[in-house]
Amino acid sequence: MEIPTDMQNQAMGYDRTATMFSPEGHLLQVEYAEKTVRLGSSSIGMVCSDGVFILADKRNTDKLIVKKSANKIYEIDSHLFASVAGIIADARVLIERAQVLAQQHRITYDSAIEPELVIKDISNIKQQFTQYGGARPFGVSMMLAGMNQKNPELFVSDTTGNYLSYFANAVGENDEKIKEKLREDYKKEITLKEGIKLGLKIFREVQEKKFDIERFELIFIKTGEEKLKTLEAKEIEE
């Protein structure tokens, strides 16, 4: 009986280090990290005609947890914010790095940092942890949104250290289903209000009976404004 490729790779030890390629050309530890990301709660990001937003499912139902301590979306700067999927402890290190980078840029140049400079720096760190021994890859995908002057932008960095710019995207659980629905319904001229409605509609369709507006968090910034706005639970519906 022929042994499956996955079992062969495990038997040969190709998955014991992040720096060893399998005979098929895969970095198995990095692929395992991608599976970890898909176990995380979902976020949808969308560039709209009048701004950009991220809508995230905090997936926190424990009544003993203080809600404000369990954020899913993080403020990087007054014009920049990010959501993550995967191992939150890993994400915290990257979020703090991004916050420091944004503040250093303000002090040095007296201006707001471009979103792509932040996501590029974070992606470079991720890439290093796939190339050097003695450490595992970051089990995190990061979605970064914000304003580049008056232009709304959205970027996603995966576990390999690769990043791309998007009009709309999703990370976390059921990301492929969500992206398929975004491909069908997203339009470039969509407004923030319409985009947020679309995001909630997609979450309802994907989560079905598990959907609960109380679990959601929203951060957005409008074109021409300098501050982020945060809404939670019922505030999003209103």
The upper half-sphere exposure of residue 80, i.e. CA atoms within 13 Å in the direction of its Cβ, equals 24
Q: What is the CATH number of the domain that holds 218?
A: 3.60.20.10
Question: Is residue 17 domain-resident?
Answer: no
Using 50, 70 and 90 to split pLDDT, how confident is the model at 232?
Answer: confident
Residue 160 domain flag: yes
* pLDDT score, position 6: 64
What's the CA angle centered on 15, arms 12 and 17, to 5 degrees? 115
Predicted model pTM = 0.91
How many whole angstroms from its chain centre is CA 24? 28
Give residue 103's pLDDT.
97
Beta strands 168-171; 163-165: pairing state: unpaired
What is the distance, to the nearest Å, from the Cα of residue 44 to the centroid of all Cα atoms in its chain?
8
Q: How do residues 159-200 score in pLDDT, each as one tens digit?
A: 999 999 999 999 999 999 999 999 999 999 999 999 999 999
pLDDT at 23: 82
The whole-number pLDDT of residue 8 equals: 58
Provide the pLDDT for residue 172. Answer: 96
Q: Say how far apart CA 109 and CA 51 lie, in whole Å.
A: 25
- How far CA 200 is from CA of 135, 153, 164, 167, 210, in Å, comes to 38, 21, 24, 17, 13
Residue 208 within a domain: yes
Residue 8: Cβ-neighbour burial (10 angstroms; 0-12, 13-18, 19+): middle
Residue 56 has a pLDDT of 96
Distance between first and last Cα of the chain:
60
Q: Are 140 and 84 in contact (CB under 8 A)?
A: yes
The total domain count for the chain is 1
Kindly state whether residue 145 falls inside one of the protein's structural domains: yes
DSSP 115-184: HHHHHHHHHHHHHHTTTSTTSPPP-EEEEEEEEETTEEEEEEE-TTS-EEE-SEEEESTTHHHHHHHHHH
**Separation between Cα atoms, residue 5 and residue 79, nearest integer Å:** 46
Domain presence at residue 194 = yes
Query: Is residue 192 a part of any domain in this protein?
Result: yes
Q: What is the per-residue pLDDT across 97-156, written as a single tens digit (0 to 9) for each?
A: 999 999 999 999 999 999 999 999 999 999 999 888 778 899 999 999 999 999 999 999
187 belongs to a structural domain: yes
Non-local CB neighbours of 5 within 8 Å, separated by 6+ positions: 24
Q: What is the DSSP letter of 1?
A: -
How much is the pLDDT for 140? 96
Nearest-angstrom CA–CA distance, 43 and 209: 18
Is residue 203 in a domain?
A: yes
The 10s digit of each residue's pLDDT in 31-75 is 899 999 999 999 999 999 999 999 999 887 778 888 778 889 999
Query: In this structure, what DSSP letter does residue 8 have?
Result: H
- The average pLDDT across 211-222 equals 93
Is 86's pLDDT higher than 70? yes
182 lies in which domain range? 40-237
CB 133 within 8 A of CB 82: no
pLDDT, position 1: 45
| Nearest CA among 220, 233, 222, 202 for reference residue 42 | 202
